[in-house]
Amino acid sequence: MVGVKKKMVTLVSSDGVEFVVEKRVAEQSLFIKNALNEGGVEEKVMIPIPKVTSDTLSSVLEYCEKHASATEFQENEIEEWDKEYIEKADLDLLYYLLQASYSMSIMGLMELGAKKVASLIRGKSPQEIRELFNIKNDFTPEQEEEIRREMQWNYE
């Protein structure tokens, strides 16, 4: 790889931290890819990533790095890696990753995070789900009763 100068871009997180990454890594995000295409190919590109903090961004970039360097022959390996990657994220990071993948348009990461949340919801009672995600039950008892009645078809 000596002599080949890799194209780099600088991403700036919402709290002002700069990340210098290879262009091909950053382009895992469609948002960045589009921004780069629009702005022309200049040497020193700075792209602000609003609403994504440095902690989250570094985790997102870890994902992008892995997926940018993966070839189609390593599918199984990548799957394993994804599983481990999302497994070690706690709930807070999971929200941030989802939010970031959404705003940065990284489809693979969005799917991965959504799958993880869905797996946490599956098989739990509404009360258990509320407790896990701190969802506040803002229905009056009457409203709740009405919904349950309307949803009768779902419990037969």
Partner 1 sequence: MKDSKKSPPCQEDRLSALPSELLHQILTFLPDTKSRARTCVLSRRWIGLWASHPSIDLRLRYRIDLLAAARAHVAAVDAALDAASAATLRRLDVDVWLPSGPDNHPANAATVDRWFRAAADLGVRDLSIQTKSFPSSSISELPCSLFGCRELTSLRIKNGVIPEVPSSFDGFHALTTLFFEHVLLSTEIFAAVIAGSPLLEALHIQGFSGVARLDVSPENLPNLSSFSMFEPYGEQVKARIVAPNLTSIHFDGDLNLLSWNGSPCLVEATLRNEPYLDFQSESCWMELVSAVSNAKTLTVNNLFYQFVIPNKYVNGSHEAMFKNLRKLTCEIDWVTGPLLCSFISNIRECPLLENLCISFNRVLRLKAKKIMKRSLFFCNKPFHPAELVKAVEEKFEKDEFDLSEHRWGMGNALDCLKILEIEHFMGTKNETLLIEFLLKNAVNLRKFLVDDFFMRTNEEIHRLFYPIKFDYDNGKEELEQEEDEYDMLGVKLLDPNRKDVFWPIGFLAADISSHALWTPAILYLF
Q: Is 26 within 8 Å of 11 (Cβ atoms)?
A: yes
Tokens of 149: 């009645």
Q: 51-66 as b/e, with b when 16 or more CB fall inside 10 Å?
A: ebebebbebbbebbbb
Q: Is 17 within 8 Å of 54 (Cβ atoms)?
A: yes
User: Among 38, 43, 90, 142, which residue interacts with partner 1 (rule: CB under 8 A)?
Assistant: 90
Interaction of residue 110 with partner 1, rule CB under 8 A: yes
Tokens of 11: 């991403």
Interaction of residue 119 with partner 1, rule CB under 8 A: yes
Interaction of residue 130 with partner 1, rule CB under 8 A: yes
- CA–CA separation, 119 and 73 (whole Å): 28
Nearest-approach distance from CB 46 to partner 1, in angstroms: 26
Nearest-approach distance from CB 95 to partner 1, in angstroms: 4
Interaction of residue 142 with partner 1, rule CB under 8 A: no
Interaction of residue 140 with partner 1, rule CB under 8 A: no
Residues forming contacts to partner 1 in the complex (CB under 8 A) are: 90-92, 95, 98-99, 102, 110-111, 114-115, 117-119, 121-122, 126, 129-130, 133-139, 144, 147-148, 151, 153-154, 156
